[in-house]
Amino acid sequence: MSDNFGFTETPASSGRELTYLEAIAEAIRLEMERDENVLVMGEDVGGGFGGAFKVTKGLAERFGDRRVLNTPIAELGFTGMASGMALMGLRPIIEMQFADFISTAFDSIVQFASTAHYRMDAAVPWVIRAPSDGGIRSGPFHSQNPEAWFVHTPGLKVVAPATPADAKGLLTAAIRDDNPVIYFEAKPLYRSLKSTVPAGEHVVPLGSAVIRRHGTDVTVISYGSMVHQVSAAAEAVEADGISTMVVDLRSLKPLDVETILEAAASTGKVVVTHAANRMAGVGAEIAALIAEEAFESLDGPIVRMGGADTPVPFSPPLEDAYRPDAAKIAGAIRELAAW
Amino acid sequence: MDEPTQIEMYAWMKLTRTFDEQMVAMWKQGRGLGGTFSGRGHEAISVGAGMALGPDDVVAPMHRDLGTYLVRGMRPERIFGNMLGKATGASRGRDANLHGVGDLDLGIIGFISHLPQSLPTTLGVAMAFKYRDEPRAAMTFVGDGGTTSGAFHETLNMAGLWQAPFVLVIENNQYAYSTPLDQQMHSPNFSERASVYGITTVTVDGNAVIDVFETCAEALERARMGGGPTVIEATTMRMLGHAIHDGAEYVPAGLLEEWERRDPVTNHRKHLLESDVASEATLDQLDATARERIAAAIADAEGAPMPDPDTLGDGVYA
């Protein structure tokens, strides 16, 4: 769309400081301007309200109700509907009000959308935005990180940005991808994290991890909000003379196998951590991958650190006990470094 | 209705019935692969609805709707090939029986398991037409069994809310696998159920192909013209088991005998003869053509290559 609705754009070469939430909103707006087939749908996303977290605020005024579709509470129905729209060439961005609610739409995601191309050669290019993650005292039904269910499902792609720049770049790539993509946005970062985001078009390819910090003693692999806990832990152990490499996966499916293996082999000591519970989590797959493919480079056991195998509890002492954090991760790094 | 159309209906129903009978025979002889589903008794619905669709409409048939696939242009070779797991099958060996027999170039979304997931998906197709302001309609099918699921009600609520160009045919065939209607719901009044969602509802004799065709044609045209969704209850009977392995001993013999007298193919033939639309010789010729066509399709499918295992990973991603 050539008309820019009066918004001022910064030249593409420069970046501005945006919050994680603003970066998501900018990606949606730019893609809706670029492609008439892109639309937003979900509970409370329309009108002047703009969704439970206000990510879509202002979109209905700019693009109209046709492209910003407020849905009834019917995740199974409207996610299935998005698949039908996608079969016809539209590119729906579905806002799942909370990632936790995605289970109510599970059948349409893992049975139809993920298999349609394999079975009938028909692309289903939708994105589900799933506000995930806890640590903000939201209890068992509003704090989950259910990415492992979808990483286990062939035909889906799964991403989890940790920074505002990646939030924009990965969402842009997800919208343009011809496959169903589940985009786990870390709601604790929405307004708490602000950093430089490239203006204009910014695409981060799906399947590319990034080294956030170079180090020589221990490699810590993570994604989403936990990357920031890992970075804090890396700072903390530096005082003890431990040099930590930090890998931000960004994309959980497909995995950037090359970067993971190189990073693991370069230090020979690996911690994998995420906020989702540890049992059969993404970390288990990463650990197995490294054990199979980089065994000879290892100088210690691969350490997995995840949430406890419990529902995500509400009360602060319980939730803090549930979640990994910088202090716990620093402890794991120190222990492994000394191994 | 013009006479050539009535004769065409017979030809498609006969092709569908012949396919179905040959398929059942093959599976009983052990020449099949995995399970399969018969649509015997549903031919008037699948053919009548299929013929009512316009070239730009899109349909998501289910596993009893072989006729819709055929009318829509899916070659029987591709369907038999699919059933035998061949590389030439519509899903290239990826999906079984009528599951996965989709081709968007023909306006067909292959049967979506699990029922009634075809409802929200088809509503999405309809909403895409509405989004682009195109005069097209989307149609899908469900059995009585699928109407008790949440996705059915979620979809009808949204179809009514947005007045989508969406047509749903409920094939009320009396049984959900082994469970009769009276054990599925308190009141099996499908029209009543759909009407509360703001949807036009019609009940039609699902064994009368002309009635099905006319009802579907009217609903599709209303949808294309912006008149909103329709739910059509087509009453019929599943004449064989749920799937090929199922002897359906739980169905009272008397019920099957009663519905056998209402057989859609036999009765349409009788109608054509009694109303002098077609001669016995003409219809016999169509029967013979159907037999030849299906025999050729089976020969093609049986002779076709199996998929190359090296292609296992092809197409997981677009």
Domain residue limits, chain B = 3-294
C-alpha distances (whole Å) from A286 to each of A254, A278, B51 are: 12, 12, 53
pLDDT (average), residues B76-104:
95
Residues of A in contact with B91 (CB under 8 A): 119-120
Q: Which residues contact B288 (CB under 8 A, 6 or more apart)?
A: none
pLDDT in tens, B244-278: 999 999 999 999 999 999 999 999 999 999 999 99
Q: What pLDDT does residue A2 have?
A: 41
pLDDT in tens, A99-121: 999 999 999 999 999 999 999 99
pLDDT (average), residues A156-178:
98
How many percent of chain A have pLDDT more than 90? Answer: 95
Q: What pLDDT does residue A4 have?
A: 42
Quote the number of domains for chain A. 2
How many angstroms away from the CA of A241 is the closest CA of chain B?
Answer: 45
Does the model's ipTM exceed the 0.90 cut?
yes
How many percent of chain A have pLDDT more than 70? Answer: 96
Residues of B in contact with A111 (CB under 8 A): 113-114, 117
Structure tokens at A211: 């080294």
Mean pLDDT rounded to a whole number for chain B: 97
Query: Does the pLDDT of residue A276 top 80, yes or no?
Result: yes
A27 and A128 co-located in one domain: yes
pLDDT in tens, B141-199: 999 999 999 999 999 999 999 999 999 999 999 999 999 999 999 998 988 889 999 99
Q: Is residue A61 part of a domain?
A: yes
Alpha helices by DSSP H, chain A:
20-34, 59-63, 75-87, 106-107, 116-120, 147-151, 164-176, 226-238, 257-267, 282-293, 316-322, 326-337
Q: Residue B100's pLDDT band (boundaries 50, 70, 90)?
A: confident
A54 and A117 co-located in one domain: yes
Given phi > 0 = left and psi -120 to 50 = alpha, else beta, which region is A6? left
A82 and A174 co-located in one domain: yes
Q: Residue A14's pLDDT band (boundaries 50, 70, 90)?
A: low
Give yes or no for a contact between A140 and A312, defined as CB atoms under 8 angstroms apart: yes
Q: What pLDDT does residue B192 have?
A: 87
Query: Does the pLDDT of residue A8 top 60, yes or no?
Result: no
A47 and A177 co-located in one domain: yes
Find the radius of gyration of the CA atoms of chain B: 19
pLDDT in tens, A190-218: 999 999 999 999 999 999 999 999 999 99
Q: What is the CATH number of the domain that holds A106?
A: 3.40.50.970
CA distance A26 to A283: 31
**CATH T-level fold of B3-294:** Rossmann fold (3.40.50)
Is the Cα torsion angle B261, B267, B269, B273 positive or negative in sign? Answer: positive
Secondary structure of residue A80 in the 3-state scheme: helix
Query: Does the pLDDT of residue A310 top 70, yes or no?
Result: yes
Residues of A near B (Cβ–Cβ under 8 Å) read: 39, 66, 71-72, 74, 76-90, 107-108, 111-112, 117-125, 154-155, 157, 178-179
Query: Angle at CA A253, nearest 5°, toward A35 and A192?
Result: 70
pLDDT in tens, B35-48: 999 999 999 999 99
A142 catalytically annotated: yes
Q: What pLDDT does residue A9 have?
A: 45
Amino acid identity at A203: V
Partners of A277 in the beta sheet? A307
Query: Does the pLDDT of residue A1 top 70, yes or no?
Result: no
A221 and A136 co-located in one domain: no
Q: Which residue range(s) make up the domain with A303?
A: 210-337
pLDDT (average), residues A158-166:
98
Structure tokens at B33: 């692969």
A185 and A308 co-located in one domain: no
Residues of B in contact with A80 (CB under 8 A): 117, 119-121, 123-124, 151, 155
Mean pLDDT rounded to a whole number for chain A: 95
Q: Is residue A9 part of a domain?
A: no
Secondary structure of residue A233 in the 3-state scheme: helix
A159 and A237 co-located in one domain: no
Beta strand ranges found along A106-259 (DSSP E): 127-132, 157-159, 181-186, 194-198, 210-213, 218-222, 244-248, 251-253
Q: What pLDDT does residue A10 have?
A: 46
